[in-house]
């Protein structure tokens, strides 16, 4: 698809650029939710709705050469990392032009050139991997940084403890970010964590821990800048951002465990609306600017939908293309009904 035309948009100071990225994530995720109900997206689909300020603040702190590992709630990160929304949506659709060629789906976005080294579906699974990527950087004496995103529920799994301990012991260039949206699926942080101020856990590893308002894009950006700068000097950080998931755990979750009062409070704390109000009242953005951004983002998402719709399903002939990176003899490539020795060549 053609890159969107930025000339039609207002001059983008950093706050306005942040707003645009947040708006893109918002509209993309809303469109993904719709596509899910249209059965264009299968499996699971977890949205970043309500986490836009966090995502954009974090991603702004990274250089293009830095690495990112995330969990399964990662569409927004891919977009903020600059990956074409059409290729992200095509992956959600399971098409051959998707970022993972249709092999990953919503939970497993990967783009080597954007150094997004995977969305991972097993809670905590990405932490040891990200720690190892940071180890590789240290091994080579590089100055890149790894950012490792996770949800609040992840802080109770063994891989969290093991990874933070290794990173602190080995002084690795890594920032661990806990997206505290206050809920696991339906279980609250208070119900699952004896110390609900999750950043305090950093003290167990003599690591710097910090908690920041995840609805404030500038505050997230500044905290992430500090953490990334420290990581570049071999000092890992545990950064906790507190925000609110605007919808259920995944697209199919109606979030019936939330009260009406809670839902009203959540809407009031919407980071996108709050930022728009602030930019307008500070005179940084005009209503006309806002309208033009809305128009341009809407067009970008529409183009992504057209691109994903037009992308072909992966050819069944490619089913065994990624069995191994180094091909070896006797690699079994058979379809369910094929006899063993028809396939092996007896």
Pairing mode of beta strands 174-180, 208-213 = unpaired
Question: Which residue number, 119 or 214, has a Cβ lying nearer to other proteins?
Answer: 119
Q: Does 136 participate in binding other proteins (rule CB under 8 A)?
A: yes
State yes or no: residue 313 binds other proteins (CB under 8 A).
no
* Residue 119 exposure: Cα atoms within 13 Å on the Cβ side: 27
Residue 145's nearest CA partner among 238, 240, 230 is: 230
Question: Is residue 43 involved in binding other proteins (CB under 8 A)?
Answer: no
137 vs 276, which CB is nearer to other proteins? Answer: 137
Q: Among the candidate windows 20-28, 111-119, 258-266, 281-289, which touches other proteins by CB under 8 A?
A: 111-119
Q: Is 323 in the site for other proteins (CB under 8 A)?
A: yes
Q: Tell me the two tokens of residue 133.
A: 């990527």
- Between 163 and 237, name the residue whose CB sits nearer to other proteins: 163
Q: Which residue has the tokens 């529920």?
A: 153
Single residue of 6, 122, 263, 302 touching other proteins by CB under 8 A? 122
Q: Which is nearer to other proteins, 76 or 125 (CB)?
A: 125
Q: How far is the CB of 256 from other proteins (least distance, A)?
A: 31
Q: Indicate whether 326 belongs to the interface with other proteins (CB under 8 A).
A: yes
CB atoms inside a 10 Å sphere around CB 302: 12
Q: Does 346 bind other proteins (CB under 8 A)?
A: yes
Query: Nearest 5 degrees, angle CA 226-CA 228-CA 231?
Result: 110
Which residue, 4, 14, 19, 5, is CA-closest to 289?
19
Piece in contact with other proteins (CB under 8 A), picked from 129-137, 222-230, 286-294, 301-309: 129-137
Which DSSP symbol is given to 314? P
For the chain, the distance separating the N- and C-terminal CA atoms, rounded to the nearest angstrom, is 47
Nearer to other proteins, 131 or 250 (CB): 131
- 304 vs 99: CA distance, rounded Å: 13
Q: Is 65 in the site for other proteins (CB under 8 A)?
A: no
In the complex with other proteins, the residue whose CB is nearer, 302 or 344, is 344
- Does 71 interact with other proteins (rule: CB under 8 A)? no
CA atoms within 13 A on the CB side of 108: 11
Any contact of residue 155 with other proteins (CB under 8 A)?
no
Parallel, antiparallel or unpaired: strands 237-242 and 208-213: parallel
Check: CB of residue 140 under 8 Å from CB of residue 167: no
The reply on whether position 111 binds other proteins by CB under 8 A is: yes
Q: Return the sign of the alpha-carbon dihedral for residues 108, 110, 171, 211.
A: negative
Q: What does the binding site for other proteins look like in residue numbers (CB under 8 A)?
A: 67, 69, 98, 100-104, 108, 110-112, 117-118, 120, 122, 125, 127-137, 139, 158-159, 162-163, 165-166, 169, 321-326, 328-332, 339-341, 344-346
């Amino acid at each position: 698809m053609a890159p969107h035309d930025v000339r039609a948009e207002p001059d983008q100071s950093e706050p306005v650029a942040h707003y645009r990225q947040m708006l893109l994530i918002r509209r993309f995720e809303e469109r993904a939710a719709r596509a899910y109900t249209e059965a264009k997206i299968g499996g699971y689909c977890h949205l970043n709705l309500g986490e836009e300020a966090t995502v954009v603040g974090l991603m702004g702190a990274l250089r293009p050469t830095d690495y990112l590992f995330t969990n399964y709630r990662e569409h927004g990160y891919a977009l903020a990392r600059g990956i074409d929304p059409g290729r992200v949506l095509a992956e959600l659709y399971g098409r051959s032009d998707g970022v993972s060629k249709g092999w990953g789906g919503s939970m497993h976005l990967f783009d080597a050139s954007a150094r997004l080294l995977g969305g991972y579906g097993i809670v905590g699974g990405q932490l040891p991997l990200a720690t190892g990527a940071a180890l590789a950087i240290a091994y080579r004496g590089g100055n890149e940084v790894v950012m490792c995103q996770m949800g609040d529920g992840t802080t109770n799994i063994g891989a969290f403890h093991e990874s933070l301990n290794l990173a602190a012991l080995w002084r690795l260039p890594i920032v661990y970010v806990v997206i505290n949206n206050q809920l696991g699926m339906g279980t609250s942080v208070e119900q699952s964590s004896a110390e609900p101020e999750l950043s305090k856990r950093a003290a167990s590893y003599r690591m710097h821990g910090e908690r920041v308002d995840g609805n404030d894009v500038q505050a997230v950006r500044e905290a992430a800048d500090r953490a990334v700068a420290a990581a570049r000097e071999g000092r890992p950080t545990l950064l906790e951002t507190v925000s609110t998931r605007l919808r259920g755990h995944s697209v199919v979750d109606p979030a019936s465990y939330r009260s009406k009062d809670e839902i009203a409070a959540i809407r009031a704390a919407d980071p996108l609306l709050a930022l728009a109000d602030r930019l307008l009242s500070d005179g940084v953005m005009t209503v006309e600017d806002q309208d033009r951004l809305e128009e341009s983002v809407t067009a970008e998402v529409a183009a992504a939908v057209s691109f994903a719709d037009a992308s072909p399903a992966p050819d069944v002939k490619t089913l065994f293309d990624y069995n191994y990176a180094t091909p070896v003899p006797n690699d079994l490539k058979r379809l369910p009904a094929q006899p063993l020795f028809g396939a092996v060549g007896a």
